Structure 1
Amino acid sequence: MHLFRKLSRMPIGLTAPAFAILLAVFGIPIILLFLTSLNAPAFSVANYQAFFDQSANVRVLFQTIEMSAVATVTCVIIGYPTAYLIVAASTRMRIALIVLVMIPYLTSGLARTYAWIVILGDRGLINNLLLDLNLVSSPLPLIYNRAAVYIGMVHIMLPMMILPLVSVMIGVDKSLMAAARTMGARPFAAFWRVFFPLSLPGVRSGSVLVFVFCLGFYITPAALGGLRDAMLSNFIATQVSSSFNMARTAASAFILLAIAVVVLSMVGLDLSRTQGHPTQPSRESWLRRLSCFGAWRRHLNELPIPSRAKRWTAQLYQAGGDNRWSKIVGAGFVALIMVYLLFPGFIVIIMSFSAGMFLEFPPSGLSLQWYRSFFGDPGWYDAAWTSIRIGFLVATLSTVVGTLAAYGLSRTLPQLRGVLTMIILTPITFPVIVVGNATYVGLVKFGLIGSATGTVLAHSIGAIGIVVVIVSSTLANFDRRLEQAAMSMRARPYQTFMRVTLPLIRPGILGGAAFAFLHSFDELVITSLIGGLSVRTLPLKMWETIRHDIDPTIAAVASLLMLLPILSLIVLYVTWWRSRQMALRAVAEPAT
């Protein structure tokens, strides 16, 4: 209690455990890895020169940037109208659609990639349907090509684009659009000149997140693409497994990291910007700096003013047009996107109950044989238990450390809070293959490679950032006057935290714990580097089965992984509902 009282006077001290783990496992190792890439203490760029001297490496690098950019642009084109239509829906429909977007977002990326293998494979759903209808005589090459990789990447990243857009669009004041309409602006003009600029922070945040995550894609291009569709993460992973030249591997990793850092520095990722308020440009466009161009631009903008005035006068008292068709088109578009996000998982769940010796859709009969195979096979069962055990340890460690860090950050100066938060979020904003290499170097120093403890620490550096984000958002809506009222009644800091603060932020803490568990349970790339041959988690077992074996049991495993986020959302909803009921009772008791 005495320690808690001291820390309450200096809240930044609560972030010490988080930064200690981050520095030991990731911060200092990534500096050592960078020095290794420079051949320290000789300090030369020979490893970087060797990378760029090979044309194959340069081709893979540009291919990685190209594929990430195409996937990002596709997510923006699809995600922006989807988010706009979700926000425009009624409250209940909006909540239902957000939940439907959250389900694939929380689902294992490996399970979703497997779903597309089932759909696009030579004996997959689409080819079987075309063959049964006699539309083709042989299976179409729908998999192991660039198009299949894009389909899988966009499917995995689209929720990450939609959710930031929805969070920003909800905060936009809708009366601004109505004001623009009353001034004679047409619907598209009001949207383009009022709503769209206010939603740009969501576009920027979503685009940066999607692009940086795509740079580190490893599973999807390896499972759905061919030899010509490999990305730099696949190249680095191959170097790690087949070569002991850590300096060359480090140089490749830092080249990938440099791309991510350049994008983050150019575009920025301000997660704390107030939503719904117009953003001021940090610097003017180079076109605006040309005075002659600016004069011509103003002159061209003034030309249509008389016609706008006449059109506004003519349309002032006209009845509004029938927007029934626009609503039908919008509803159809959203339904199509929901099918794209949810249909692959639905197909895998149905096929997992197949009674045949092979997976088929629709199943010729229903059976639980593949689920019995999963629970009866020690290989699958032990891998699942290992993932659950590591996931609970990661969730416990990251929840305690991340909650303390979030509580301390919420009580520090805003400028310092932003810098420290971005440092904590570094492991989840850097490409995962770079994080994996850095943690490998750090845990080698502690002799924890191939151990469950090392795997827990490696997973925790990313899980802590997730908990900090979720708990910080909960604390942002917390009324600190409740703490002041408790202290005015002579409650000590520890009592205030346990009896006032903790019950009110409990939903955020449990939500952070659930997300931390899912983060650890789905981790593959870092686990494959840290766990070695000793720690065999469920994602590793699934990945080996996908690449080297044709075992229909994996359909049952993927189905269970797809049901896991649904159970997590139910638990979070029940926790939130109970917390809300307790708060309502607390307000009602003094009134009675």
Structure 2
Amino acid sequence: MLYKLGRMHILLAIPSIALLLTVFGIPIVLLFFTSLNAPEFTLSNYTAFFSQPANIRVLLQTIEISAVATAACVVIGYPTAYLIANASKRWRVVLIVLVVIPYLTSGLARTYAWVVILGDRGLINNLLMDLSLISSPLPLIYNRFAVYIGMVHIMLPMMILPLISVMVGIDKSLVTAARSLGARPFAAFWRVFLPLSLPGLRSGSLLVFVICLGFYITPAALGGLRDAMLSTFIAAQVQTSFNLARIATSAFIILAIATAILLMMGLDLSGKPTSASSSRRKLWLGRLPVLGRLKQFLGERLAPFRARRWSAQLYRSGGDGTWSRRAGYVFLVLVLFYLLFPEILVVTVSFSAESFLTFPPSALSLRWYRNFFTDQSWASAAWTSVEIGLVVGTIATIFGTLAAYGLSRMSARPRIVLNLLLLMPITIPVIVVGVATYTGLVNLGLTGTRLGVILAHTIGAIGYVVVIVSATLANFDRRLEDAAKSMRASPFATFMRVTLPLIRPGILGGAVFAFLHSFDEVVITSLVSGYAVRTLPLKMWENMRNELDPTIAAVASMLILLPLLWLLLIYLTWWRSRLTSRAATDPV
């Protein structure tokens, strides 16, 4: 009986699924019914929403801001990923780490960095006034431009990393073959490389746009009243009137937009076109015979010119491309400067001895670090975040590892369904997750409690653990387990003595991401805690809204240095695991 149960790998995912359904899954279904006025099931709430011009303006503004931020990430991120993917292996690793560091850094800390840069007494205005170029501060903050700057800075690594993962796997010999047949560099890129990189471009665009739809902190901190997004509108309703029907309606409108984008761009992120989509495309082109004839006519007229150009360029040297390489280097340096300089600036400002934010600081001091450790409110908030993060990391690592191990042993169809379910809290707009989680914790009587905050953080943290551990298990050689079982090792002993040591780096990476997810969470925490549980990000957010105490710079600098320590720990664990694996496989 125990052996049969052991072969039912879905049992390993039950703890994660049960927690997800209790805290998030069932509440979001009930929330949807609430938006439809169950049991009457009418669209009156949606009609009321769209009948108010202010709501429509905020909705269109949300879509516009998200679309512009996504487009900017594509324009900046694609060439950046291309340059990194074509760098030498050693430089590629260094550049990827430089992109990952901002990605792991607290979004609140990065938003605060732009407050320091764009503020009335920030870096840019102080520099221009010192040079006597302006007599009064420029309005660089609390406007749409500042919102775009902050959102693109936060989301750009999420665009670059999926693109790199796809571009590195593209066979460069295909582009070389196109060049050898007379294609110019741009034509070879446009006709060969770009189509092969579309899966990464689509994945990155979907992630950026969907997450931007639920942005709350950055628009609220950097934008003005005219730059409010629908997430700000929802958060205000939760904290004031708490009309659950209106809140649910607004949340599901955001979710509907995200779902529509996913359906339009395709749910399959592999980038392989389906037969249905290709047939629809052919049918659409068949309805435009004029375009087909025009294309055929132009092709026939340009054929002699193409033949002469091909013959002339077939044996011509490609040139050294010095200027293009230099332009690429300059562009890459500027992008990395854009990603890393705000963090460097915050660390520098945190050592200022003055009572207000200035750069460069006139004198260096540890005043604001001492203030952080001696101020009871800051110390208590930090310790609360650490405690919650450790508990969340422990629960999410155990549940997520079990789920990932069970899913890796399942057939394709149930694995895809359960993966989508477990990853839902980190793939839909965060404000929707916050509202649904708040509703679920209200039903459990856990709002405003530390346990409620832990459960709210855990459902998202499990998703990160599942993704990372599943990726590790995908490269795991299962023949090692079979060999251990052939030596009469029990399934538990095989897992503990063989599987666990080899996938330990992935488990540690999942634990780190789970902890960072909890430690940096603001939106969901502000909804479910009611500010009764004061975490460090909530304390920072309050001070950013009320006063720009330089103590925030000290806190932000520590949050910036935290990912560096985690990356070092992961690297050391991976290096040790690699040595152990090599020692086990080398012949004596």
Whether the aligned pair in 2 keeps the contact of 1:204 and 1:269 (CA below 8 Å) is: no
Q: Which residue of 2 aligns with 1:232?
A: 230
Whether the aligned pair in 1 keeps the contact of 2:121 and 2:357 (CA below 8 Å) is: no
Shift of 1:194: 0.5
Q: Which residue of 2 aligns with 1:168?
A: 166
CA–CA distance in structure 1, aligned partners of residues 550 and 81 of structure 2? 36
2:295 pairs, out of 291, 294, 297, with 297
Shift of 1:7: 4.2
Alignment of 1:272-291 (within 5 A): 273=270, 282-283=277-278, 284-285=280-281, 287-290=284-287
In structure 2, relative to structure 1, the CA distance for the partners of 1:98 and 1:281 (3 Å cut) is farther
Q: Which residue of 2 aligns with 1:133?
A: 131
Whether the aligned pair in 1 keeps the contact of 2:368 and 2:550 (CA below 8 Å) is: yes
In structure 2, relative to structure 1, the CA distance for the partners of 1:480 and 1:365 (3 Å cut) is same
2:396 pairs, out of 395, 398, 401, with 398
CA–CA distance in structure 2, aligned partners of residues 480 and 506 of structure 1? 15
Whether the aligned pair in 1 keeps the contact of 2:351 and 2:368 (CA below 8 Å) is: yes
Whether the aligned pair in 2 keeps the contact of 1:198 and 1:279 (CA below 8 Å) is: no
- Residue 60 of structure 1 aligns with an amino acid whose one-letter code is V
Alignment of 1:2-401 (within 5 A): 3=2, 5-271=3-269, 273=270, 282-283=277-278, 284-285=280-281, 287-290=284-287, 292=289, 293-401=291-399
| Greater displacement, 12-21 / 376-385 | 12-21
Shift of 1:584: 1.0
CA–CA distance in structure 1, aligned partners of residues 21 and 538 of structure 2? 27
Shift of 1:299: 4.1
1:50-77 deviations in Å (ceiling 9; x for gaps) = 1111100000000000100000011001
Whether the aligned pair in 1 keeps the contact of 2:522 and 2:537 (CA below 8 Å) is: yes
CA–CA distance in structure 1, aligned partners of residues 5 and 405 of structure 2? 11
In structure 2, relative to structure 1, the CA distance for the partners of 1:410 and 1:234 (3 Å cut) is same
- Residue 41 of structure 2 aligns with an amino acid whose one-letter code is F
- Residue 87 of structure 1 aligns with an amino acid whose one-letter code is A
In structure 2, relative to structure 1, the CA distance for the partners of 1:426 and 1:205 (3 Å cut) is same
Whether the aligned pair in 2 keeps the contact of 1:392 and 1:517 (CA below 8 Å) is: yes
- Residue 10 of structure 1 aligns with an amino acid whose one-letter code is M
2:504 pairs, out of 497, 503, 506, with 506
1:380-432 deviations in Å (ceiling 9; x for gaps) = 00000000100011111111111111111111111221121111111111111
Whether the aligned pair in 2 keeps the contact of 1:198 and 1:278 (CA below 8 Å) is: no
1:230-277 deviations in Å (ceiling 9; x for gaps) = 000000001111103111111111111111111112113434x38xx8
Whether the aligned pair in 1 keeps the contact of 2:181 and 2:314 (CA below 8 Å) is: no
- Residue 586 of structure 1 aligns with an amino acid whose one-letter code is A
CA–CA distance in structure 1, aligned partners of residues 305 and 404 of structure 2? 55
CA–CA distance in structure 2, aligned partners of residues 59 and 461 of structure 1? 33
- Residue 430 of structure 1 aligns with an amino acid whose one-letter code is I
CA–CA distance in structure 2, aligned partners of residues 493 and 305 of structure 1? 66
CA–CA distance in structure 2, aligned partners of residues 48 and 373 of structure 1? 49
Shift of 1:281: 7.8
| Greater displacement, 480-489 / 468-477 | 480-489
In structure 2, relative to structure 1, the CA distance for the partners of 1:280 and 1:368 (3 Å cut) is farther
In structure 2, relative to structure 1, the CA distance for the partners of 1:296 and 1:146 (3 Å cut) is same
Shift of 1:177: 0.8
Q: Which residue of 1 aligns with 2:526?
A: 528
- Partner of 1:288, secondary structure, is helix
Shift of 1:216: 0.2
Q: Which residue of 1 aligns with 2:568?
A: 570
- Partner of 1:472, secondary structure, is helix
- Residue 115 of structure 1 aligns with an amino acid whose one-letter code is A
Structure 1 runs not aligned, ≥5 long: none
Whether the aligned pair in 2 keeps the contact of 1:197 and 1:278 (CA below 8 Å) is: no
In structure 2, relative to structure 1, the CA distance for the partners of 1:472 and 1:542 (3 Å cut) is same
Alignment of 1:445-464 (within 5 A): 445-464=443-462
Whether the aligned pair in 1 keeps the contact of 2:84 and 2:164 (CA below 8 Å) is: yes
CA–CA distance in structure 1, aligned partners of residues 240 and 110 of structure 2? 28
| Greater displacement, 226-235 / 563-572 | 563-572
Structure 2 runs not aligned, ≥5 long: none
TM-score (norm 1): 0.96
CA–CA distance in structure 2, aligned partners of residues 290 and 55 of structure 1? 39
Q: Which residue of 2 aligns with 1:545?
A: 543
Whether the aligned pair in 2 keeps the contact of 1:125 and 1:361 (CA below 8 Å) is: yes
CA–CA distance in structure 2, aligned partners of residues 561 and 367 of structure 1? 19
CA–CA distance in structure 1, aligned partners of residues 322 and 302 of structure 2? 30
Shift of 1:532: 1.5
Whether the aligned pair in 2 keeps the contact of 1:79 and 1:162 (CA below 8 Å) is: yes
- Partner of 1:358, secondary structure, is coil
Give identity over the alignment, percent: 68
Count matched residues. 585
| Greater displacement, 142-151 / 531-540 | 531-540
CA–CA distance in structure 2, aligned partners of residues 317 and 54 of structure 1? 66
- Residue 578 of structure 2 aligns with an amino acid whose one-letter code is R
Whether the aligned pair in 2 keeps the contact of 1:213 and 1:429 (CA below 8 Å) is: yes
Whether the aligned pair in 2 keeps the contact of 1:117 and 1:124 (CA below 8 Å) is: yes
CA–CA distance in structure 2, aligned partners of residues 499 and 280 of structure 1? 46
Whether the aligned pair in 2 keeps the contact of 1:157 and 1:210 (CA below 8 Å) is: yes
- Residue 133 of structure 2 aligns with an amino acid whose one-letter code is L
